[in-house]
Chains A and B, each alone.
Chain A
Amino acid sequence: EIVLTQSPGTLSLSPGERATLSCRASQSVSSSYLAWYQQKPGQAPRLLIYGASSRATGIPDRFSGSGSGTDFTLTISRLEPEDFAVYYCQRYGGSQTFGQGTKVEIK
C-alpha cells in the first residue's frame, strides 16, 4: 500500500506570502493519479489539482501543482485570506489514499 507523507504539518505564513506544500509517496506514483484538495473548517474538501498539475474548474491560477515519481508539490503563489485551510494530497488509481494533511495558518 502506498503511503503519502505531507510536510510540513503546519505552515505559518502571512497573506501575500508564497506557500510550498510537499507530498512524498512511499513508492513511485503515476503523475496522472495525484490530486490536491483544500478543506476549510466545517466544509467538504474541494478539488484543486488533479493529474499532479492540472487545475480543477474554477481554481485560481495562484494554485499550481508539480512533481513526479515520489515527490509532489502544491504551491500557492500569493496567499489570500481565504487560502488559510488544510490541504490534502491524494493518490488515486487502484486503492486510493490521502496524505495526513498540511494546515496553512495565519502567522
Chain B
Amino acid sequence: EVQLVQSGAEVKKPGESLKISCKGSRNAFTSYWIGWVRQMPGKGLEWMGIIYPDDSDTRYSPSFQGQVTFSADKSITTAYLQWSSLKASDTAMYYCARHTVPGTDHDAFDIWGQGTMVTVSS
C-alpha cells in the first residue's frame, strides 16, 4: 500500500528543539517530492515547502524560510521537519504529503500522512 506514516504527537517547551518524521513506503517515496503543510488549531492549511529526498533539494515558503529545516534520508525513505528553537506559535498539526507525479515540483498532493500534532507550551 502506498502510504506515509508520521511520527507521534509531541509536547515541548519554548526554546526546545524538535525533529518529526514522515516515513514512506518505497513506492510512495522514491523519485517524488514530499511537502510539509501546517494547520494551526481551528485554522486552514499552509504550505511550508517541499523536499526531493533523492538529492535533498528543497523549496521553502517565504513564510517558513529560516524558521524550519527540511531533511531526508532516502535510504530509509524518511523525510524530516525540524525546529532549532520552538515557539508557542509553532503549536499546530503538521502534515507531510507526496506530489502526484514523480520528479515534478509543480504538483498537487495525492498521498498524505496522518499528521503530527506539535504542542509548544511552558
Say whether B108 contacts A35, CB under 8 Å: yes
Chain B contacts for A97, CB-based, 8 A: 47
Residue total for A at the interface (Cβ-Cβ under 8 A): 25
- Determine whether B115 belongs to the interface, using a CB cutoff of 8 Å to chain A: yes
Residue total for B at the interface (Cβ-Cβ under 8 A): 21
Say whether B108 contacts A45, CB under 8 Å: no
Say whether B106 contacts A92, CB under 8 Å: yes
CB distance from A37 to the nearest CB of B (A): 8
Binding site for B on A (CB under 8 A): 1, 32-33, 35, 37, 39, 44-47, 50, 56-57, 88, 90, 92-101
**Beyond known contacts A35-B108, A37-B45: 17 more, CB 8 A cutoff:** A1-B62, A33-B106, A39-B45, A44-B97, A44-B115, A45-B37, A47-B100, A50-B108, A90-B45, A90-B47, A90-B108, A93-B106, A95-B59, A95-B61, A97-B47, A98-B44, A99-B44
Say whether A44 contacts B106, CB under 8 Å: no
Q: How far is the CA of A50 from the CA of B112 in the complex (A)?
A: 15
- Contact partner of B112 (CB less than 8 A), chosen from A46, A88, A100, is A46
CB distance from A73 to the nearest CB of B (A): 17
Chain A contacts for B37, CB-based, 8 A: 45, 98
Chain A contacts for B52, CB-based, 8 A: none
Given contacts A44-B95, A47-B108, A92-B106, contact A101 B44 (CB under 8 A): yes
Given contacts A33-B106, A98-B47, contact A44 B113 (CB under 8 A): yes
